[in-house]
Structure 1
Amino acid sequence: MKKTVTILGFLAVFPAGGALADDDCFVPMADWKPRDAVAQMAQEKGWTVRRIKIDDGCYEIHGRDATGRRIEVAIHPATLEVIELEYEDEDDE
């Protein structure tokens, strides 16, 4: 009984197999959208792309938003969903 309560407690803390606020992308490369699709998605949002790279299994865009603010954006490689968007201060250089 004690073991069951412990397991249920663990599952309540870590729902869906432990997928908490984790911004790593675990997607087979065969399911990734091409880099060109990432660039097109950024252009549609009005972003100017300086660099597209891969970080923690996600696409990462460095560039500027439509207002000219520097941004760093994590993109899910299979869905092109924005996972995280950070605005960078100009003094961070």
Structure 2
Amino acid sequence: MNKISRKYMAAIAAVCAFMLAQPAYADGDIKCNAGPSKNWKPIAKLKKKAWMEGWELLKVQVEGDCYEVYARTESGQAIEAFFHPVTLKKLVVYRRGSEIYRAPDFSG
């Protein structure tokens, strides 16, 4: 193979790998309908709540009108969870792109 063919083959392999890779998390376009952020509880309280569940926090952020947590469970599984910012109620949890928990009364 010449140099040009090798470059094209490498580029094709990289594109294929990118297209076949599964995302580790699945942002499900969650809507919390949380209202104005002045009524939201501090993120520090959410961090404590997640810690009480035995999760190792990797990242906590605001996503839309929800709190989003990236963490590892006690068993080491990577998860993405959404919490209502006013009540800090756990709404949805994803693992490897699949929903593993949804609050019974939550449809967002």
Match of 1:25 among 23, 32, 36: 32
Equivalent-residue separation in structure 2 for 1:40 and 1:47 (angstroms): 10
Counterparts of 1:1-80 in structure 2, within 5 Å, are: 23-26=30-33, 27-80=35-88
Using the size of structure 2 for normalisation, the TM-score is 0.59
Structure 2 SS opposite 1:38: helix
- Unpaired segments of 5 or more residues in structure 2? 1-28, 98-108
The one-letter code of the counterpart of 1:23 is I
Taking every aligned residue pair, what percent have the same amino acid on both sides? 29
Equivalent-residue separation in structure 2 for 1:68 and 1:88 (angstroms): 13
Off by >6 Å, runs of 4+ in structure 1: none
Structure 1 SS opposite 2:44: helix
Measured against aligned partners, the alpha-carbon deviations of 1:50-88 in whole angstroms (never above 9, x if no partner) come to: 000111210000010111100000010001111110112
Larger Cα-atom Rg: 2
Equivalent-residue separation in structure 2 for 1:81 and 1:72 (angstroms): 14
Using the size of structure 1 for normalisation, the TM-score is 0.68
May I ask how many residue pairs the two structures share in their alignment? Answer: 68
Please tell me whether the aligned partners of residues 73 and 83 of structure 1 are also in contact (alpha carbons under 8 angstroms): yes
- Unpaired segments of 5 or more residues in structure 1? 1-21
Please tell me whether the aligned partners of residues 23 and 83 of structure 1 are also in contact (alpha carbons under 8 angstroms): no
Q: Which has the higher contact order (CA 8 A, sep 6+)?
A: 2
